Amino acid sequence: MALQPIPRDARLYIAGHRGLVGSALWRHFAGCGFHNLVGRTSTELDLRDQVATTAFFTETRPDVVIAAAAKVGGIAANANRPTEYLSDNLRIQVNLLDCAVAAGVERFLFLGSSCIYPKYADQPIREDALLTGALEETNEGYAIAKIAGIAQIAAIRRQHGLRYISAMPASLYGPGDNFHLHNSHVLPALIRRFHEAAREDSDHVTCWGTGKARREFLHVDDLAQACHFLLDNYDEDQPINVGTGSDLTIAELAHLVAGVVGYRGEIRWDTDKPDGTPRKVLDVQRLSRLGWKASTPLDQGVQATYEWYRAQQGAHPT
């Protein structure tokens, strides 16, 4: 049966609606005229709690679910708290998927991450690289949880014939990002460090690693648009990559961020700290063939993210 676009009056539950991805999804769908959006904070509904999650689905009966609730962090956070990245994420996604099937949810989009792919996967990484090699050890627990989610989606499709899909975004950034000193991702971490260095007039900033690792960054508003596109147009077992398809070195990124922030001091590299996977760029041909392409240039996206960060600083000075 051909896929129909999701109707504007669908009851759409965005799990994790206050997070980086969830808030972008909320902005996007509200902006498109969806008027039956449902969200719960983790205090209102702890998705690790099966009883509470079952009660929520029984009561709310969503038509469509996007799973953007997860325990997410950078290299340091994953390395220091590996148990939570594995067990919390497994609990959250198993509860969401089991409850969605039981409640008759028609469409479900599970968000994984590019870290599901092997550390030394051929680049750009195609979807069929999944499970062909060892994972990057610093985020193994998180990746294994996400791989289990993809497997559960495929199993549900086989057993129940439901239109549940999974998408693997590249590293994301944008308004709503986490700028925490110890558990943020590289791009917001660089924005914060250069912003503070510029404000304090520091003569140098030391960044983790060699700066040579290559990464891809997708603006979260582009991801939100892609999620909508996929729910309307994609219906296959295999996860689908969502990215820009182009990458740059962390050193290039650092210079871009320094330029946006107005930091003019020296950038040093602490080569005792890990680089993580040497290169990570997604092959986005399947998505392009379906007709979707990211539209936010990195420099513009970083500029807008920095403006958002500064506005937050103004609202809540540190």
Ligand X SMILES: NC(=O)c1ccc[n+]([C@@H]2O[C@H](COP(=O)([O-])OP(=O)(O)OC[C@H]3O[C@@H](n4cnc5c(N)ncnc54)[C@H](OP(=O)(O)O)[C@@H]3O)[C@@H](O)[C@H]2O)c1
Residue nearest to ligand X (CB): 19
Residues 259-288 touching ligand X, rule: CB under 6 A, are none
Tell how far CA 81 is from the center of its chain.
19
Near ligand X by CB under 6 A: residue from 12, 47, 205, 287: 47
The verdict on 129 binding ligand X (CB under 6 A) reads: no
Residues 85-124 touching ligand X, rule: CB under 6 A, are 92, 111, 113
Stretch near ligand X under the rule CB under 6 A, chosen from 37-45, 199-207, 266-274, 307-315:
37-45
Contacts of 253 by beta carbon, 8 Å cutoff, 6+ apart: 186, 187, 190, 215, 217
Instruction: Give Cα separations from 149 to 69, 131, 142, 207 (angstroms).
Output: 13, 13, 11, 33
Near ligand X by CB under 6 A: residue from 37, 46, 101, 106: 46
Distance CA 218, CA 216 (A): 7
3-state secondary structure (DSSP) of residue 304:
helix
Distance CA 313, CA 311 (A): 5
Near ligand X by CB under 6 A: residue from 12, 28, 29, 48: 48
> Among 13, 85, 117, 142, which one carries the catalytic annotation?
142
What number of CA atoms fall less than 13 Å from residue 245's CA on the CB side?
Answer: 13
Q: Minimum Å distance from CB 88 to ligand X?
A: 6
Near ligand X by CB under 6 A: residue from 64, 66, 72, 226: 72
Please choose, from the candidates 167, 282, 297, the residue with its C-alpha nearest in 3D space to the C-alpha of residue 216. 282
Stretch near ligand X under the rule CB under 6 A, chosen from 4-12, 13-21, 264-272, 279-287:
13-21
The verdict on 172 binding ligand X (CB under 6 A) reads: yes
Residues 234-253 touching ligand X, rule: CB under 6 A, are none
114 is in an annotated binding site: yes
22 is in an annotated binding site: yes
Tell how far CA 126 is from the center of its chain.
18
113 is in an annotated binding site: yes
Q: Which is nearer to ligand X, 172 or 197 (CB)?
A: 172
Q: Which is nearer to ligand X, 72 or 197 (CB)?
A: 72
Near ligand X by CB under 6 A: residue from 16, 141, 209, 211: 16
Distance CA 168, CA 173 (A): 15
Known catalytic membership, residue 117: no
Site map for ligand X, 141-160, x if CB under 6 A? --------------------
> In this structure, what are the phi and psi dihedrals at residue 190, rounded to the nearest 5 degrees?
-65, -40
Q: Minimum Å distance from CB 169 to ligand X?
A: 4
Q: Which is nearer to ligand X, 45 or 287 (CB)?
A: 45
Helix (H) / strand (E) element for 111: namely: strand 107-111
Please choose, from the candidates 282, 283, 279, 285, the residue with its C-alpha nearest in 3D space to the C-alpha of residue 120. 279
Q: Which residue type is seen at 19? A: G
- Show the beta-strand stretches assigned E in 170-221: 171-173, 204-208, 214-215, 217-219
Residues 186-205 touching ligand X, rule: CB under 6 A, are none
State whether the Cα torsion 137-139-145-149 is positive or negative. Answer: negative
3-state secondary structure (DSSP) of residue 6:
coil
Detail the residues annotated as belonging to a binding site. Answer: 16-22, 111-114, 146, 185, 193, 208, 215, 275
The footprint of ligand X (CB under 6 A) covers 16, 18-22, 41-42, 45-48, 68-72, 92, 111, 113, 169, 171-172, 178, 185
Which residues are catalytic, by number? 142
